[in-house]
Amino acid sequence: MQYRQIIYKTHGIESDLNLVTIDETFHFFNPKLGLSYSTKAGTFYASYGIAHREPIRDDYVDAAPGEKPEPERLGNFELGLRKSGTNFNYAVNYFLMNYHKPAGSDR
């Protein structure tokens, strides 16, 4: 389990000489859960996690007037099997990343 707080404050002029003022606080909860089970066939494992990322400065600069950039969200699922023997090792892994990109973001 992870909790992140991002306090993002800036005030200045960007390259096109427009005033940029940002005063945002983000609160993110990023859980991850994983399980593994060992048998003679190997170790089976699965995990799922969620991660968030705050908007970057360019998201604020490029936003339409009055528009507030939104954070990104990533869900990650992983499933696999690994086995170690006397003369060999193998691993099979599947993963799926479900990325939610906020509307209007160019990242």
Q: CATH number of the domain that 77 lies in?
A: 2.40.160.220
Question: Which residues span the domain enclosing 43?
Answer: 30-100
Please check whether residue 12 lies inside any domain of the structure: no
Q: Give me the pLDDT at residue 105, please.
A: 58
pTM (2 decimals)?
0.74
Give pLDDT tens digits for 62-92.
888 888 899 999 999 999 999 998 899 999 9
Give pLDDT tens digits for 13-53.
888 888 888 899 999 999 999 999 999 989 999 999 999 99
The closest of 27, 45, 33, 26 to 75, measured between CA atoms, is 33
Please check whether residue 71 lies inside any domain of the structure: yes
Indicate the number of domains in the chain: 1
C-alpha span between 57 and 1 (Å, rounded): 27
Please check whether residue 90 lies inside any domain of the structure: yes
Q: Which residues pair with 72 in a beta bridge?
A: 53
Please check whether residue 68 lies inside any domain of the structure: yes
Length of the chain: 107
